[in-house]
Amino acid sequence: MKFTVAIDGPAAAGKGTISRAVAAHFGFAHLDTGLLYRAVGARVLDGLDPVAAARSLTAGDLDRPDLRRPDVAQAASRVAAIPEVRAALVAFQRSFAARAGGAVLDGRDIGTVICPDAAVKLFVTASDLVRADRRYRELVEAGVETCLDEVLAEMRERDARDSARAAAPLKPAPDAVVLDTSELTIGQAVTAALAEIERRRAG
């Protein structure tokens, strides 16, 4: 049975953590679509043309150890604004979403563009200050030298670019449930997401 959960939102809002927990709870397959764009961005930093990088992307590219670096995140945001790059990756994402047994996809345009007919659409968000602090802590833990002000500035720049781009801008789908995690623990956020999905499945 096909059952698709679309989880969108800005960086460090918690959508990845929630998506993995949801997939594990229900036994659904999970795809972090942001990794597709990060992998393309990393290949662009290596010197490839963005469209060529997207069209020749392989599963192995998603396993690169450098995909969480800040420069790769910025490159991912830039290439995501290119319509030809997005078009090259749409088929892969839609095929994944249509698999039997259920699927959870998280990204920035899953509920609006990739899976507008998803059974459940969540838009996970949080204040930019909270998100920047979360990302800063992640980077420090990973051994990346940075400061909170720099992370906040980069996040605001990326938010503005992702929201203003002509191709699939970052925004909630009209029928998405908005989940603000600013004041929630991970457990509380996951519980809220699971409750919404259970409600839709029961209906």
In the predicted model, is pLDDT for residue 14 greater than 90?
yes
Nearest by Cα to 182 from 34, 5, 9, 38: 9
CATH number, domain at 14?
3.40.50.300
In a domain, 193, yes or no: yes
In a domain, 9, yes or no: yes
In a domain, 203, yes or no: no
Number of domains in the chain: 1
Q: Is 119 annotated as a binding residue?
A: no
Could you read off the pLDDT of 98-140 as tens digits, one per residue? 999 999 999 999 999 999 999 999 999 999 999 999 999 999 9
Could you read off the pLDDT of 128-184 as tens digits, one per residue? 999 999 999 999 998 888 999 999 999 999 999 989 988 889 999 999 999 999 999
* pLDDT the model gives residue 92: 84
In a domain, 170, yes or no: yes
Q: Is 14 annotated as a binding residue?
A: yes
In a domain, 26, yes or no: yes
Question: Mean pLDDT throughout 31-54?
Answer: 95
Q: Is 12 annotated as a binding residue?
A: yes
In a domain, 74, yes or no: yes
Q: Is 102 annotated as a binding residue?
A: no
pTM score, two decimals? 0.87
Domain that holds residue 162: 4-198
Q: Is 125 annotated as a binding residue?
A: no
* pLDDT the model gives residue 40: 97
